Structure formats: C-alpha cells, structure tokens
Amino acid sequence: MGEEELAYMSAAEQGRLIRERKLSPVELVQLCLKRIERYNPVLRAYITVCGEAALAAARQAELEIDRGDYRGPLHGIPFGVKDQLCTAGIRTTLGSRIFADHVPDFDATVITRLKEAGAILIGKENLHEFGKGGTHVFAHGQPRNPWNTERTPSSSSSGSGIAPAAGFCSGSLGEDTGGSIRGPAAANGVVGLRPTFGRVSRHGGIMYAWTADTIGPLTRTVEDNALFLRAIAGHDAHDALTSQRAVPDFSFVAGTDLKGMRLAVVTEMTWPDGVHPEVREAMEQAIEVLRALGATVGEISLPWAKHAIPLAMLTSDADVASMYLPLLRGRWGDFDAGTRSRMATAALVPAAIYSRAMRARAVVRKQILGAFENYDALLCPTSLKPAGLIDDTRETVQSKEDMAQRIILRRISTHPFGLANVPTLAVPAGFTKDGLPLSLQVAGRPFAEATVYRIGHAYERATTWHTRHPVLEQTTRGVRPAVVTE
C-alpha cells in the first residue's frame, strides 16, 4: 500500500485494517508524523506536535489489540485538536503569543473520551487567535490551504481543516461559533459537523461565547465524522449545559437513498447577490443529485436569517471580550491587531443593547426552527465563494463594500444555523475550474445529527468529490515556510 493511499484512507477503513491486524497503529502514526515533518513548515496546520507521546500511545494500542483488548473503530487512530482545547502537560496556546507557554494539567472531556476510545493525540492545531476569527498575523505561522497555498484554509479552526485534508491525521476536533468548523471543512475539502448545542461537552475548551460555541469533528468522510461524534458526544457532569439525551449509534450511514426526505433550499443563504457562479452551479447540481436519491427538494425564504450575522457577532464578541478585559488592559500590544480591535469594540457594547440583541436572537432562531415543521433539513452552500487569496480575505473593513463582501457575504450561509444552535454538516460538493473545493451544507432539527448524517452520507456515496485529495508535493513545492513569530 502506497503512502498516499494510506494517508488519505478513511479513518473507518484504517480502523478496520487495524482491527484485522493488517495495519499497525505505529505504522499509521509514523506516516502521519512523516507527512507533518515534511509539509507542516509550509501548511502550518500544527502548532505543537506530540511525536514521542503519539508513538508511545501507538505502541500501547498495538499491544492492547494484539492481546484482544480492542476498544472499537477508533482504536489506534491518530487525531489532532484545535489548540484551544486543554491538554494535560501539553501547551495550549489559543493561537496567541499571550498563552504561548500555557500548559494545562488536565485534558478537555472530548480528548479524554477519544483517548478512552483508543484514539491517539498527534498534535495541537493552528487557529485564529482565541478561536474568534479575524486574525491578521498568526503568532504560530500563517496556515495555508493544501489545495493551493496562496489560498486561505478559512477560519477559525484552520489547522483542524488542513490536517485531515493533508493526511496529517485521520480526524480533527474543531470549535464552531458561527462557522469555524464548517468554513475550514469547505475550504479544505473535508467533512465538518457543528453539533447541536449541548450534544458535546465543552469542559476544558477555552471558549467564552457561552451561548453558541460547540466542539465538533472534521474528517475525510461522513462515516468517519459519525465515528468521532459518537466517541465525544453525551452528557458530562463537568458541563452543566450538556444534554441528558442518549447518543445514537449512527448505524444509519449504511443507507444510500433519501426516499421520503423533505428538504428545502434557503433562498437568502443560497442565492444572494455576490454568490460565486461556480458555487451556484455546484449547488444546482447538488440539488439534482439529492432529488435523484429520492428526496423532495423545495425552496424556503427565511428573511430574518440575514440578521443572525450582526446579532451573533455583537453578542458572542461581547461575551468573549468580557473575559479578556484584564488582558486587553495589561497586554494590549501582545494581541493581534485584528483580535484586539474586535474585542475592544465589543467591550464597549452597552448592556441594554446586548440584552435587546439576545432577545432578537430568539426571534431569528424561532423563524429558523419553524422551517423544520415542514422540512427534514435545510440546504445551502457552506461558503458562497471558493477559498480566497490569503491577503484578500483578511478582515479589514474600510467601506460599506468591505462590510458586505468581507463580513456579511462570508457569514450569511453559516451564522444563521449557528445562532439557531442546530446540527449542521458541511460535505464536499465539487471543485472550481482552478481546483478549489466547494461544499454543501445540511442543517437539521436540534439533536437530529442522524438526519444530517444520513443526507450527507447518501450525497457523498452518490458523488466522487470525497475521493479527491491534494497532491502536497505539487502544492507546497517552492513555497517558503510560514514565518513563526513565537
């Protein structure tokens, strides 16, 4: 088996080979570390690589499997996590100079659960500072898209999208407030899920947008995504906001048709002014595929969805700023300029405005949830534009046009579902003529992850987009390694 074939194999298939003892966890981890060493200096998916610890865990996993102590489909599978999730004895930087030497003494619950499933932590992944997006200069190196290194890998779970796309690991954990899992999934050509708020514990995640932040998986296939979610989901006594609901086993992924499913394309989130023509074409083709699979696909207008963007940004940014006020006062110059200006602005939001915005959020959410009375899922592109040039996508706003293109258009397809706190899946849905990934987004009722997985899996099986992978020897050749300022 060739290196590329193994590196880009689905986690489910890697797991089957490990279970059958046709693949060693040590061999798989060594391959991932080799690829990280070769390509990470350019792509900067990882801030910290846990090489020795990962190899030790792989050797332990191999011993356990050899003696019959097989833990399940993720046993021996390497994973990475966004570097805002605490890891015992391993630094957790939040992508910031301020936390460059921060070393927690415990693991986040999601990491504990993956380790209990036998998965192997291989490293901490790059992100926008504090996981909030808008970073201009990355403290730990500029992350780059593996399909085209001049292009953005999107934000803020940048490294968590790059890593599985580049074959650096078999799956990642990211964090999503308004699109920070789904955006990188779309830009890097992988599958990303924002779970229902409360489905996954946030204990050990340094995240302060309390009413919206979620942790979820990014993987190469829908089946892999379901395996990771199954491992990390469920009630946690350390997080009072986790749900008591039972976690499905997601065995539905064996299905390949959508007979009886009622789907609706959201007009305002799919066909606004400014949607890229190749995104429009890919979406039209995706609709036809879903219809051919037996689904009824209609169209629905959610006119208040556009208000989700200012409402979510105002309230979430204010939540975050409230936690970092002492640092803003004491270490102003150590913040990235983008993060600093965003937080400082949010810190000035009056309590009365914040309260009114929170009430308005409930109104917008009600309209979105009302759509599920008639439809099983809602559809739109994950991103209305392909991954842009890195310099062009920095969020510098100097005019109304900048606000429309850099802020509103980039978020209109993801923020409404984030504000509604519903499960939302990004699935590869094509490529531009220049070879950049495109993505379909599927949103379901609260706690209906099984539904969005069923739709995403059926669509994935009916297409071949998930079988295409970047050729890193070509995309990284001649590119100067990203500058690291730590």
Q: In what order do the strands lie in the sheet with 262-266?
A: 46-49, 120-125, 78-82, 171-176, 214-219, 191-194, 424-431, 437-444, 377-381, 262-266, 296-300
**Which helix or strand (DSSP H or E) is residue 285 part of?**
helix 277-292
Q: Which residue has the tokens 């310099």?
A: 391
**Phi, psi torsion values for 437, nearest 5 degrees:** -65, 150
Nearest in space to 168 (alpha carbons), one of 74, 258, 35: 35
Q: Is 95 in contact with 126 (CB distance < 8 Å)?
A: yes
Q: Which residue has the tokens 């969005």?
A: 452
Pairing type for strands 214-219 and 191-194 reads antiparallel
| Furthest CA-CA distance within the chain | 65
Nearest in space to 175 (alpha carbons), one of 112, 243, 128, 142: 128
Q: Dihedral through CA 53, CA 79, CA 113, CA 240, nearest 10? A: 120
Tokens of 48: 């910290």
Tell me how far apart the alpha carbons of residues 183 and 203 are, in angstroms, rounded to a whole number: 23
Tell me how far apart the alpha carbons of residues 322 and 144 are, in angstroms, rounded to a whole number: 31
Instruction: Return the SS3 of 482.
Output: coil
Q: How many residues does the chain have?
A: 486
Tell me how far apart the alpha carbons of residues 441 and 191 are, in angstroms, rounded to a whole number: 10
Q: Which residues participate in catalysis according to the annotation?
A: 82, 156, 180
| Rounded CA Rg of the chain | 21
Where are any strands of DSSP class E within 345-431?
377-381, 424-431
445 Ramachandran zone, left/alpha/beta (phi>0; psi -120 to 50): beta
434 CB burial (10 A radius; 0-12, 13-18, 19+): exposed
Q: Give the DSSP letter string of 162-208.
A: HHHHTTS-SEEEEEESSSTTHHHHHHHT-EEEEPPTTSB--TTB---
